Chain A
Amino acid sequence: MNKPLNILFLFLSLLFLQIFVFNNISFLGFINPYIYIIFVFLYPLKENRIPFLLYAFLLGLIIDFFSDSGGIHAFSILCIAYLRLFFVRLFFRKVVTDYPFFKLKSESFGKTFNYVVTLTLIHHLIYFSLANFSFNNISNVFLNTIYSSIFTLLLYFLGTYIFTNSK
């Protein structure tokens, strides 16, 4: 996962999957998974975070271009990209010297689950609050956040399960 080509491949595949497949699902009329945030989970931890923040922002911005949503995706993915390090420290208790060896796959399932669920919930909450942009139907925001998070997380864990076992 450390090679630039792999990251580019991840970036492009998540982008096109999100735009052409997952933006059109509309399960039960309104539930869409936002799987492009997997980029934040899989991008390797590094001392210098500027490129990572920039790539996450660009991914969100391009998805915004396609879904006519201004800068909502860009802002929400940028937030979790910035908060990621805090949660890595909180859940996995890593210090700077551990960063090059950190892999989500090799961590225990419980810790990974907490980490992924927290970041997904934060992202979806920010996204739906901005997409709603009023306090009018705030209950709707929370419902959307929960339903979409469940969908996203299901897809993420199924995906990791399938791809790790096929090796």
Chain B
Amino acid sequence: MQQLIYFFQKFKYFLFFLLLAFISLALTFNNLEFHKSKFVNSANYFTGGLYLKANNISEYVGLKSENKLLAEENTRLKNIIENNKSIIYTIDSTVVDSIKYHQKYTFTAAKIINNNYAKKFNFLTINKGENQGIEREMAVVNSMGIIGITDNTTESYARVQSILNRNSKINARLRNTNYFGTLGWDGLNYNTVQLSDIPRQAPLKIGDTIETGGKSTIFPEGILIGTISKINKGNTAENMVYVKLFNDMSNLGYVYVVKNLDKDEIKLLENPNE
């Protein structure tokens, strides 16, 4: 017994160091896995609140470019409405009732209050949470394209796993075709993501647009991602295509969180045992 107490006395600093090191390493390993880090994340009351305050000050700098983006998006949406109007008037005189029409997605506007892009595992924080109907595994997009997937929520904040995270896997396809692959990030350049496993017979050209494929329950079909910047042809097993993002991930303001209303139904169908 005395030996034991003597041992603890002698090595108490080292043992204390080991204890703290164990805690921090456990938190690190947990954080690397999607959905596991409930404890350390920037979406809790304290960190989220402080980031919101800091962001309220700094957002004035970006108001001009934010307005320009919104105006561009408005123009695009108005053009779509005009196109639809002419179709409705010329082909069919019945007006589609938007309540009876089966709606698949709802959009919630949110503001990014913390943005990372220089690390290997990047996360964003947005100022909407469970009180506004944000849940896990919802798509986050803006007018220029995809941003990420929500992975942790609190009452009024949510953490988003950015597309610039080495754990991100998103279904993507070549525009106007059905050739699809998996979009990931190698952690090097925040402007470029990698599309892998796309079939060899797909007619890929540099400059072609890549968009979301709609083969998951998270992202709606046809949301913009980027253009092909480099095609890795050769005898490698992986058919890697480099995609330059439309979004400047270092300069993000307002985003939309997309909720898929059919998600539970699709999941139940695919995994009836869960």
Chain A residues engaging chain B, CB cutoff 8 angstroms:
19-20, 26, 29-30, 32, 49-50, 53-54, 57, 60-61, 64-72, 74-75, 78-79, 82, 130-133, 136-137, 140
Contacts and interface: CB of A to CB of B under 8 A. Distances in A.
B24 A20 contact: no
Interface in B15-32: 16-17, 20-21, 23-32
B54 interface: yes
A71 B22 CA distance: 10
Contact of A50 (B12, B23, B116, B121): B12
Given A50-B13, A65-B40, A70-B27, A78 B20 contact: yes
A76 to B, nearest CB: 9
14 contacts: A26-B117, A26-B118, A29-B250, A53-B16, A61-B27, A64-B40, A66-B50, A68-B122, A68-B123, A68-B125, A71-B26, A71-B28, A71-B31, A75-B28
Contact of B119 (A54, A65, A69): A69
Contact of A133 (B32, B42, B125, B190): B32
B20 A53 contact: yes
B214 interface: no
Nearest to B54: A20
Given A65-B40, A65-B44, A133-B120, A71 B32 contact: no
B40 A82 contact: no
A78 to B, nearest CB: 5
A21 B92 CA distance: 58
A68 B190 CA distance: 17
A68 B125 CA distance: 9
Interface residues of B, number: 43
Contacts of B190: 29
A71 B14 CA distance: 19
Given A64-B27, A71-B25, A75-B25, 10 more contacts: A30-B118, A53-B16, A53-B17, A64-B24, A68-B40, A70-B37, A74-B23, A78-B20, A130-B28, A133-B120
Interface string B242-254: 0000000010000
Contacts of A72: 24, 28
Contacts of B114: 66
A66 B17 contact: no
Contact of A132 (B41, B118, B120): B120
B23 A65 contact: no
A151 B9 CA distance: 40
B202 interface: no
A68 B24 contact: no
B79 interface: no
A1 B44 CA distance: 33
Given A26-B118, A68-B116, A68-B123, A79 B44 contact: no
A79 B32 CA distance: 21
A166 B184 CA distance: 51
Contact of A61 (B21, B24, B117, B186): B24
A61 B27 CA distance: 10
Contact of B20 (A19, A20, A54, A136): A54
Interface in B35-93: 37, 40-42, 44, 46-47, 50-51, 54
B173 interface: no
